Structures are given as C-alpha cells and as structure tokens.
Amino acid sequence: MVAPGVWRFACEMSLKGLLSSRGGSALRGIRPAGVASVLSDSERLAMLDDLEQSGLGWFWASDAGGNLTYISAAIAARLDLPLGDLIGQPLTTIFTTADREGRGKSLSLMLGAHKSFTGMAVRAARRPEGTVLRLSGQPITSGSGRFLGFRGTGSDITDEYTREEETARLARYDSLTGLSNRHRMAHHIEATLTAFRAARRNCAVMMIDLDRFKHVNDTLGHAAGDELLKQVAERLTRAIDREAEIGRLGGDEFQVLLPDVDDRGVLGELAMKIIAMLCQPYSLEEGRCVIGASVGIAIAPHDGLTCEEIVRAADLALYASKNGGRGQYRFFSGELENETIFRRRLEQDLGTALREEQLFLRFEPIVEASGGAVTSLEAHVCWNHAARGIIDEEEFAQIIEGSALLGDVGRWAIAAACARAGDWPNTVRLAVNVPVPLFLADDFVTLVADALDAAGIAPSRLELEISEAVFFGDTSTVDRTLAALFKLGVRLTLDEFGSGYSSLAYLRRAPFDAIKIDQRLVAEAERQDGREMGLVRAIVALAGALQMDTMAGGIESAGLLEALTGCGVRYLEGPIFSEPVDAEMVVAEMAGGAWKIEPGAERTRRARRRTVFRKIQVIHDDFAYEVTLRNLSKTGALIEGLADVPKGTQFVVDLGGGQLAVATVIRSNGDVQGLEFEQSLIEDGSGGLCTRNRVSPYALAAAGTPLAPLAPGKFLGVHQGGAVPKFGYAVAPRAEMV
C-alpha cells in the first residue's frame, strides 16, 4: 500500500505534468479559442477535478518504466479497485485487453514502442467481466528527447462495447441455439483445412438434417419449432463427447466439424449415437413430438481438400442417407452420384418385377416361448433380379423404402402371403408388415378382406404388424381403418414398440392384440446392464395389464433367449430358431403336423451378403488381376474370374476409392473363390459396407503423387513390372453387368 502523503504528492506532480507538459495542456480544446488563460494552478486543478467528477474526462499517467503515477479516482471507482492499490503498479498488470478473441492491439506492445495510441478497449485484470474502458495515450519526452512516460485519457464504454460485442456475436453465432452460424462454420472449416494440410492431419465434417421437422412446424406452430431446435442443439452438444465445432446452418440443418478423426468405425458409432438421441421424444409446451435425423459424413483430405469440396461431399452423403430411408448415416463415396442413378434404375425395375412375378416371399418362424411350437410365420419380400440375382429381404427393404411403389409391393405381399398361408394348418398364423402409405390408403381394408376371401383363410389367422409411424397420419383416417380391421377380425400388432415413438395413447386408441418389442431395444438389452432389460419387463407387464401378447425378434444368443423368456415375453423369433426360409420348406416342415424348433446354441445370424456383381482388382505378388465381385459381407467376399487359385492364397482386395482389404482364399472351386477378410468391414449406415480406414492422400503425396481427394474407382491399378502372373484368367461371366 502506498502511503497517503506519497500518493497525494505523486498525484499533484502528475497533474502539474498534465497541465504544463511539453505536449501542451491536457485541457486544450475545451476553452474557447483565443481566450487567454487567467487561472492559477489551484484553479486549474479544481477545474480538472470537476471535469473528472462529471465523467466527461478521466486521466492517467505513467513513468518511463510503465508504472502508473496517476489515475482519476473516478476510474478506480468504476473498476471497483482501491486507488491506493493501483499507483506504482505496472500498467500492463492493471489492465488487460477486452477483446476476447485477441484480435485487437496489445497494450504492452504499444507502451513498449513509445508510440501514441487511441481507442484501446481494456478491462481491469482483476475484474475481467467488469467495466470496459477506452484508453488513449501520448508519449511524453524531456527537452533533450528523453522518454518520460505516458499521459492519457480514459472513458467508460461498457454499454457501447456490450452492444458491439453482441452484434459481433450475432454475426458469428446462431441467435436461436447459440451454436456457430453458417458464416462462422465456413470460416472455421476453411481455416482448419488450411492448417491441417500443412500438418498432414485429418478432419471430418458431418451434415445433419432433421426428419419430420416440417410436420412439427405445421401442426404445433413455429414457436414449438423454435423450442424444438433449441432442444436439438442441446442434445447434439451432449452427444458429441469429443473436440468439435457444432453449427446450425439455418432451418433444420446442422453441421459438425471433427478434427483428427478419419476412422469410419468411430464416425459411424458417433452418427448412430446422434441419430438415437435426436429420435427420442421431445416435450414442448404445445405438446409431445418425435422427429428423426439423417447424417452425411465426409473426411478430409480423402473426400476433399477445400471447404467447398468437403461440404459438398458431406451434402451428397446426407442426400444419399435421406434417400435410403432416413434415420440413417452415410459416408461420402465417389460413386454416390452413380449410385443415385443405379438406385433409380432398380426402382424403375420394380415395376417390371411386379408385372413379371420376380418377387417372392420367405417366411421367418415365430415360436411360442413355452413349448417351442411355431405359431406364426412372418412374411418377407425378396427379389429375383434378372441381372443381379437374388436380392434378400434386408437389401430389398432398403431399396423399397421411400419408393413410389412401396404401396404396390405391400398389396402384392398381402395377397401372396395369404395365398401361401392357405396351404398351412389352420392353427398357424401369418404375419405381414404393413407399409404406412398402404395402411393410409382408402381401399386398404377392402384389399385385406379380398386377400382373405381369395385364400380362403380365417381373418384371425392374419396378423398385421403396424408401425407407430401410422399415427402421424390423419387421425380420423387412422381410427377409421383400425376400427374396420378390428371388425373384420384380423389380429393387430403394434410394431417396433420402444423405438422412441412409443406412447400409451396409441395403445388406448387402437385394439391391438400384441406388442412387438423393437429389435434395437432387444439388442441393447443384451449388450448393456439391467436397465434395458428392465424396460423389456415393464413392456411385458404393460401388455399383460392390457391383455396383449408380447413378441421379440432378432434373438441370436442363448443368454438373451433365457433373459427374454424370464421376462415373460410370449413369442420369439430370430436366428437362434431359424432365418427366413422358402415357402416350400414351410410346407415340408408342417407336413407332419406341428412344427417345433429347438433353439440352437450354434446358430447365429449369417453374415449378410450383398449381391454386388461388379469389377474389382485383387493384388498378389505385385500383380493385379481384374475379377468380378459376386457378393460381399462384413467378413468376406466371393470373387469370380481366376482359375487354379489354391487355398491359403493372400490377396489385397481393392474395393475402390482407397479401400484396401487383406483377404485369404478359404474356398476355391474352378474360377470362383471365397475370401475371408483379415479385418471385418463395417456398416456404412445405409445398408452398405466399407473399410474402416482408407489409403491416406498424404501417403500418396509423400510418394510423389499430387495431393488430391481419392479417386472413386479402382485404386491400385495393374502393376505389371515384369512380374509373371501365377493365376490364369477364366472366361468372363456371361451375366450382364449392372
């Protein structure tokens, strides 16, 4: 603490310096021009004191070492700091720059340069959130030119600074959610990509679009929509538990920048976590609502080098994920534009498939838990495509989702399934999943009645599995259809219960006979601790109270089967009993009467194989062979085109776009080989498969190739180099390439 006498002396000396310094009077400019000064020093000090107290002008001074020698008492009061604690302290320890992003001038730099400055915004270092001052300073020198210190003025600009800061914040951040806005995200992505190219680092960009958001705006109003967007922003922030920049681009579109990640397994898990969290119900003042989310993912430098390239790639991936049925994620691929054409071609072929009877059914047994008897069979639609071969039920579901022919396929499925059920014992029921558009069609009940009459089966043998999504349709249409179906006598099952849409209101409104627990909840119950299984028990208890049966599917393990049985689930299905089988096998199994299936501990769901039928390259001993990829699963592939390949041969399989997978031949028959991958492929989020990692463009650049995004097609090329191929080429397949 500076002694009072010393402090007063310092103040008087500094004030005299302000009044009579070589730089001129500190009061210059406030008296009329041409009027001579007739005031004494004491009168001048009094006038200066009045000026400081009025708030029109505050003053400060420092010595040559940058230590404060004078400061107006009013400034100290505004800063809420004792005046005696400030005198004699370095100016740079008293004040800190108010610019939070550090883009302004440095006070220490200006003082050290002995240059005049104006308009510098500062705060008290000990009160960083308090008053904001604007300082100006003028260096003072002696007659011999020796630097003596600074003299300057200050003013309180807290209100002005707050307004300017808010304006600047609104220019960078979304006013509704507080997330970064489109402009800030674009600037941040561009800056990150530029810095990361120099450091050879990766980053990923996610584009997120909300599904059914327009429905909320239309039904609950824009105020509800705004509140929903705020809650979405909060959930996004919680879901992304790693370094990231999250932004709202406008409307219901969000963007996420994730530095230092290129592992598509990690990104896929994060995308699924985001989708799962955003799909949970929201509570708004206007009512309860449920939405969904679709995600597109692109990775730099694999998919783009600039902000424009990487954002466009993520946009294309988002578009593909929404086209694939929504509620999915998708990685960018150079083939996405071609894939859009390919999917459109398949959808066009659906009309031909219906006309030429290329569609067929497989049936999955549903077993009663108490005795193992098959009580019903669920119908699945498959497609025997003229060029691609058999398209199984899972892949077909991906193709048909969102198609304009979804309702027509549903009509065919109900009629064909009822006809097949006519060959079964009367004690066995038929389960058919009903697409939402078909359920909402005006003639749906008539269609069901006609199919039952044509097949000659009792209505009670038909179980219609209805998704909770139908309840988002017109209320009067839904209630009228449900009442007509109940009157007709068919059984109704509420499908996917526990998926995030579930509401007791549905169960009160509709005469359901059974609840089918969502497979994702069942899968989580097996992986997690007792909480999910507790939800299953609660659903079973709820169904029992309402006199409804319960059903669970997708069961693969004996442990899960035992747990579900212990919870009281009455009907079960899954690979542990049987995968979907052909209609002929169903008839054969039931020829002797009741069909009972004992759960097999060794049964697991077969690795899903996609019929792809395209040209790829496989590499062995520095020689690349072009072969036909017939089908693909997570764990392996089937290739055709090479002859005399022994078991145990290792290949590097080039799946395109920098996707390389090491594989071993485990089966060889003529010109067809079965391969097993060293590292399993992963889901791409929309029914496809991809490698976890890809060849890095940085590695290619180090080898002399210009840095560029990965090409979409073949990656390695044929490396002849004088090498002699070990395997002969077989005759190319005769089937038409798709």
Q: DSSP for 165-234?
A: HHHHHHHHB-TTT-SB-HHHHHHHHHHHHHHHHHHT--EEEEEEEEESHHHHHHHH-HHHHHHHHHHHHH
pLDDT at position 601: 59
**Mean pLDDT along residues 693-718:** 79
Which residue type sits at 384? N
Judge whether 329 and 297 are in contact, CB under 8 Å: yes
- Whole-number mean pLDDT of the chain? 83
Judge whether 248 and 213 are in contact, CB under 8 Å: no
Lowest mean pLDDT among 102-106, 231-235, 474-478, 602-606: 602-606
pLDDT at position 470: 80
Q: Which residue has the higher pLDDT, 527 or 685?
A: 685
Structural tokens at position 197: 């190219």
Q: Which residue has the higher pLDDT, 380 or 511?
A: 380
- Which residue has 């080039």 as its token pair? 654
| pLDDT over 60 at 90, yes or no | yes
- Which residue has 């980053």 as its token pair? 203
What would the pLDDT profile of 296-329 be if each residue is shown by its tens digit? 999 999 999 999 999 999 998 998 888 766 788 9
Whole-angstrom CA distances from 736 to 387, 654, 731 are 6, 22, 14
pLDDT at position 306: 94
pLDDT at position 465: 95
Q: Which residues pair with 287 in a beta bridge?
A: 284
pLDDT at position 733: 38
pLDDT at position 652: 94
SS3 label, residue 582: strand
pLDDT at position 35: 46
Q: What are phi and psi of 495, to 5 degrees?
A: -85, 155
pLDDT at position 6: 43
Q: What are phi and psi of 350, to 5 degrees?
A: -60, -40
What would the pLDDT profile of 58-82 be if each residue is shown by its tens digit? 888 999 998 999 888 877 877 778 8
Q: Looking at the chain, which residues constitute the CATH 3.30.70.270 domain(s)?
A: 173-334
**Mean pLDDT along residues 408-431:** 94
What would the pLDDT profile of 127-157 be if each residue is shown by its tens digit? 777 788 888 999 999 988 899 999 998 888 8
Q: How confident is the model at residue 203 (pLDDT cuts 50, 70, 90)?
A: very high
**Mean pLDDT along residues 180-205:** 94
Q: DSSP for 387-424?
A: TTEEE-HHHHHHHHTT-TTHHHHHHHHHHHHHHHHTTS
pLDDT at position 450: 96
| pLDDT over 80 at 55, yes or no | no
Architecture of domain 173-334: 2-Layer Sandwich (3.30)
| pLDDT over 50 at 19, yes or no | no
Q: Using a pLDDT cut of 70, give the percent of the chain over it.
A: 83
* Angstrom distance (rounded) from CA 174 to CA 194: 24
| pLDDT over 70 at 56, yes or no | no
Cα–Cα nearest to 366, from 532, 518, 550, 540:
550
Structural tokens at position 51: 């000026």
Q: Looking at the chain, which residues constitute the CATH 3.20.20.450 domain(s)?
A: 340-590
Q: How confident is the model at residue 437 (pLDDT cuts 50, 70, 90)?
A: confident
Alpha helices in 200-335, H assignment, sequence order: 213-220, 222-239, 264-278, 307-323
Lowest mean pLDDT among 146-155, 477-486, 601-610: 601-610
Which residue type sits at 112? G
Q: Which residue has the higher pLDDT, 168 or 333?
A: 333
| pLDDT over 90 at 365, yes or no | yes
pLDDT at position 592: 75
Please count the CA atoms within 13 angstroms of the CA of 291 that sit on its side-chain side: 27
Q: Which residue has the higher pLDDT, 10 or 673?
A: 673
Highest mean predicted confidence (pLDDT) among 229-238, 281-290, 468-477? 229-238
pLDDT at position 714: 62
Q: Which residues pair with 299 in a beta bridge?
A: 204
Rounded to two decimals, the pTM is 0.57
pLDDT at position 291: 87
Alpha helices in 502-654, H assignment, sequence order: 504-509, 519-527, 530-545, 558-567, 583-590
**Mean pLDDT along residues 469-493:** 87
Architecture of domain 340-590: Alpha-Beta Barrel (3.20)
Find how far residue 342's CA is from the centre of its chain: 25
Q: Which CATH class is domain 610-729?
A: mainly beta
Q: How confident is the model at residue 22 (pLDDT cuts 50, 70, 90)?
A: very low
Please count the CA atoms within 13 angstroms of the CA of 465 that sit on its side-chain side: 23
pLDDT at position 649: 94
Q: How many CB atoms lie within 10 A of CB 369?
A: 18
Judge whether 395 and 610 are in contact, CB under 8 Å: yes
**DSSP H or E stretch at residue 42:** helix 41-54
Lowest mean pLDDT among 162-166, 383-387, 491-495, 686-690: 162-166
SS3 label, residue 534: helix
* Angstrom distance (rounded) from CA 540 to CA 533: 11
Cα–Cα nearest to 208, from 232, 191, 176, 180:
232
Architecture of domain 4-165: 2-Layer Sandwich (3.30)
Residues 6+ apart with CB under 8 A from 59: 18, 26, 48, 52, 70, 71, 72, 151, 152, 153, 154
Please give the span between the terminal C-alpha atoms of the chain, in angstroms, as a whole number.
Answer: 87
- Give the largest Cα separation in the chain, rounded: 127
- Strands (DSSP E) contained in 678-718 are 682-683, 689-690
Q: Looking at the chain, which residues constitute the CATH 3.30.450.20 domain(s)?
A: 4-165
**Mean pLDDT along residues 220-228:** 88
Q: Which residue has the higher pLDDT, 29 or 449?
A: 449
**Mean pLDDT along residues 471-495:** 88
Lowest mean pLDDT among 123-127, 649-653, 708-712: 123-127
Alpha helices in 546-658, H assignment, sequence order: 558-567, 583-590
